[in-house]
Structure 1
């Protein structure tokens, strides 16, 4: 059941949702739903993060291909530093190679020292465009946004969120989670407003904001890897293309390749204050899995909402799986 509370020191009204998304209490801030434990960090990071003009910011809605985007971006931008035989991805999960903005490092008026990071610095967040740190927008650094069909994104998020529940607690009924998601209540949601923020920015500043769709990346990875490399400022040379480097990176960073690595079978990484097994970031990675979980009514409701929210701005998704 939803309840309300006021946190005076933040001077922000909080609406705490406990039903459905049991993995994290969510609070609404500036029109978006954040994990309540993230709120003070997001506010501080917005003010204190110091971006550089050559930074690369990866942004996604949760469970929209974040792991894959991190692996691809890291590999493309560092391809002169690492070969495939001694590559960091062989022993390190992509989330450790391209960490999310460390919100706790901005607490108590602190600003972390990030000057020792190799250039270009790679960062990732699930921040809506409207909540990005001011310096990211003002520095004109590159922003890459990857989104996913709302039906697959919801199903993946539902599965992932259930990993945070105690072992003796049953999964959240998908019907409960669906009603919240459809109503705009999900981590870093509403989902449609999250997409629109980056979509509009990509139309206004295409040289600084690259908008990508998971389904298109799956359908034609070679084309979109070349597009990604060009945007990053590390285009593939004619010789690299002749040697098949684009296809090699595609295979090296594929879902199947990453999932088969020992580090992603047995390792762990911290997520929302919990040691999350790396294997939980690799479930199926396919397009159209929603049809195995959503009823026809659920599918139709999301289709109608997507049309209502997105199509007026020219943003559509190819319907897959019907």
Structure 2
């Protein structure tokens, strides 16, 4: 992860927000995006290596060619309480744009607790990658948003080592890690021209993906009964695993 990589990251972020869907987004959208004419099939074999893809797909749903390959998988998740608030506000923005009625907090929460979510119940999505990261830690790196926010420097190094491109001492001395942290901060990403204008996939505004980036905002939305219900679901679904999250009641 040399300074040249940082330069490329800056160039990528400065692109026009009206640009068509990036290759990494097409990978997922071509599978789940319906018949949108913009969502063309990705020609993976002819893409320049190293290839980078982003997806929300559960681990069991990944293609066999991915699960049995030597590719590295970095999975990032967050506190299920914060996920719900983010999920609810995000999809209501989409519904409003399409002139649909907003889902009430109660309606959305009922669906969330029943696992009625895009890409499946949150607990199944998390556990699939979590178990794989324990069985094959050299292939799957399981990260939590809360840990990333708490110690960004440590986790940036951890990611670099995981993908086999650790920072050199010279790069550390020259502030490369600090530059990457600044570039990839929530504030920087939110203010980037490529992220605050234009649309992605099925006409979803890029700016919809950025709200607060805070940890623990769920306390401003959850009632005592909601806290109790989601806590019980997490206790039941995560039972038998060591998966837990900071900031949960």
Any runs of at least 4 consecutive aligned residues in structure 1 with deviations exceeding 6 A, and if so which? none
State the SS of the aligned residue for 1:316: coil
Evaluate the alpha carbon distance shift between residue 286 and residue 194 of structure 1 in structure 2; reply closer, same or farther with a 3 A threshold.
same
Q: Distance in 1 between matches of 2:154 and 2:16?
A: 27
Q: Is the 8 A contact 1:100 1:124 kept in 2?
A: no
Q: Does 1:131 align with 2:55?
A: no
Q: Distance in 2 between matches of 1:166 and 1:204?
A: 43
State the SS of the aligned residue for 2:65: helix
Q: Does 1:88 align with 2:16?
A: no
Select the structure that is richer in strand.
1
- Tell me the CA shift for residue 308 of structure 1: 1.8
Please, what is the CA RMSD of the aligned residues?
A: 2.6
State the SS of the aligned residue for 1:285: coil
- Tell me the CA shift for residue 103 of structure 1: 5.2
State the SS of the aligned residue for 1:264: coil
Q: Distance in 1 between matches of 2:120 and 2:10?
A: 38
Q: Is the 8 A contact 2:75 2:143 kept in 1?
A: yes
Structure 2 unaligned segments of length 5 or more: list them. 35-39
Counterpart for residue 50 of structure 1: none
Counterpart for residue 141 of structure 1: 71
Q: Distance in 2 between matches of 1:308 and 1:276?
A: 34
Counterpart for residue 92 of structure 2: 162
Q: Which has the higher contact order (CA 8 A, sep 6+)?
A: 2
- Tell me the CA shift for residue 115 of structure 1: 3.4
- Tell me the CA shift for residue 255 of structure 1: 0.7
Q: Distance in 1 between matches of 2:10 and 2:55?
A: 27
Report the more deviating stretch, 175-184 or 304-313.
304-313
Q: Distance in 2 between matches of 1:177 and 1:85?
A: 36
Q: Distance in 2 between matches of 1:213 and 1:295?
A: 25
- Tell me the CA shift for residue 180 of structure 1: 1.1
Evaluate the alpha carbon distance shift between residue 211 and residue 121 of structure 1 in structure 2; reply closer, same or farther with a 3 A threshold.
same
Q: Does 1:296 align with 2:224?
A: yes
Q: Distance in 2 between matches of 1:263 and 1:111?
A: 23
1:287 to 212, 215, 223: 215
Counterpart for residue 42 of structure 1: none
Evaluate the alpha carbon distance shift between residue 120 and residue 276 of structure 1 in structure 2; reply closer, same or farther with a 3 A threshold.
same
Report the more deviating stretch, 301-310 or 278-287.
301-310
Q: Does 1:101 align with 2:27?
A: yes
Show the 5 A alignment for 1:1-322: 76=1, 79-81=3-5, 83=7, 87-91=11-15, 96=22, 98-102=24-28, 104=30, 112-167=42-97, 168-270=99-201, 273=202, 275-319=203-247
Select the structure that is richer in helix.
2
State the SS of the aligned residue for 1:236: coil
